[in-house]
Amino acid sequence: MSNSWENEASFTDFIISHLLSCKSIKIQRQILFELVQKKRNRNRQSFNNTLNRLKASGVIALDKDNITFNKISLQSHHVFRNMKIRPTGDIKVLVLFDIPETQRKVRNWLRLQLKLWNFQMIQQSAWLGDGPLPKEFIDHLKLLGIKECVKVFKIQNNK
């Protein structure tokens, strides 16, 4: 019957412990135990760091027995979600924006969203792609407070 810590070991852990053990089963088990303990501590530390980050940003409140979620803070984290629905159409759209440096997160979100929609970057603040853009996108720009900083132009080919 194997120990519970042996069940947590990955195949890679077994290989590493075997290679370092010089064919000694006792040494292999010691090395394997140390690898599993390091993995446990790393996972616990990562979990604690995430909890502290959420607590510092105001998303959760920690009591002795309870974790309370702050819905308003959760909604603010939801602001930077990516829109899955791609613009479909046969017209080309040029998106120009001039977002201040103080709103770097918003600017990075906008660039990422345009990349996800397969827009092509002409310059860092000028993007070309298929349109028309969904109404949800315009509403989202209003929510972020950058609607005035973003200009959308339809591109037509006059023959």
Tens digit of each residue's pLDDT (9 = 90 or more) over 123-134: 999 999 998 888
Instruction: Kindly list the domain boundaries of the chain, sorted by start residue.
Output: 4-69, 91-155
Arch. (CATH architecture) of 91-155: 2-Layer Sandwich (3.30)
Q: What is the pLDDT of residue 153?
A: 94
The CB density around residue 128, as the number of other CB atoms within 10 Å, is: 16
The length of the chain is 159
**Rounded to whole angstroms, what are the CA distances from 34 to 42, 45, 115?**
12, 16, 43
Q: What is the pTM of this model?
A: 0.52
Pull the structure tokens for residue 13: 């852990």
Pair 130, 120: CB distance under 8 Å: no
